[in-house]
Chain A
Amino acid sequence: NAGVTQTPKFQVLKTGQSMTLQCAQDMNHNSMYWYRQDPGMGLRLIYYSASEGTTDKGEVPNGYNVSRLNKREFSLRLESAAPSQTSVYFCASRGTGTNTGELFFGEGSRLTVL
């Protein structure tokens, strides 16, 4: 069972470089999320997508863009990476039916910006 898959798992960038984090889920979920996790700050919501074709800003959207390519995929793009974007990034999708409300998470992507 794949669940939520994120790539890459590790990435090192130089300041000003761009990159895209990919996320895909195979659970037919409507809602998908991107979070960043920093020490002492928990998980902070960057963007979310309640359904295919829609995206909304979360708590910390500055410096990021997202694309909900289709129901399965939700990508996060850093156009010009900054050291402040060094973090662990998690993608998640929200369940339906008996699991309504629960988020299913990917394994995380560790990004370092030098």
Chain B
Amino acid sequence: AQTVTQSQPEMSVQEAETVTLSCTYDTSESDYYLFWYKQPPSRQMILVIRQEAYKQQNATENRFSVNFQKAAKSFSLKISDSQLGDAAMYFCAYRSLDMRFGAGTRLTVKP
């Protein structure tokens, strides 16, 4: 079974600075998708960014970008120019047939 590991239960960043959240996964498959989801206190799950495993180019969405290292099975999320609204739980997820999530990283943004 696939596993997703987020080794940082909590992270903190100063407003306007950059922070990187780590994620590793374990799989024997070659074709899959990776995701980062954000969950603010409202409990809503919001897609931040998506990466297809067959694409070598790292995905970017405005201030959010990933560092996808397929051989190392690593998928980190970089948030640039952090804003107060970025404070939330962040979940890394892996999808092949089903979708598995990591335990999450709570991000605090300091003004």
Contacts and interface: CB of A to CB of B under 8 A. Distances in A.
A59 B33 contact: no
A40 B35 CA distance: 19
B98 interface: yes
B100 interface: yes
Interface of A is mostly: strand
Given A42-B103, A101-B35, A108-B43, A58 B98 contact: yes
Interface stretch (B11-19, B44-52, B72-80): B44-52
B25 interface: no
Chain B contact patch, size range: 20 to 34
B102 interface: yes
Contact of A103 (B97, B99, B102, B104): B99
A35 B47 CA distance: 16
Interface in B81-103: 91, 93, 95, 97-103
B81 to A, nearest CB: 25
5 contacts: A50-B97, A58-B98, A101-B95, A103-B35, A103-B93
Interface of A: 33, 35, 40-45, 48, 50, 56, 58-59, 88, 90, 92, 94, 100-103, 105, 107-108
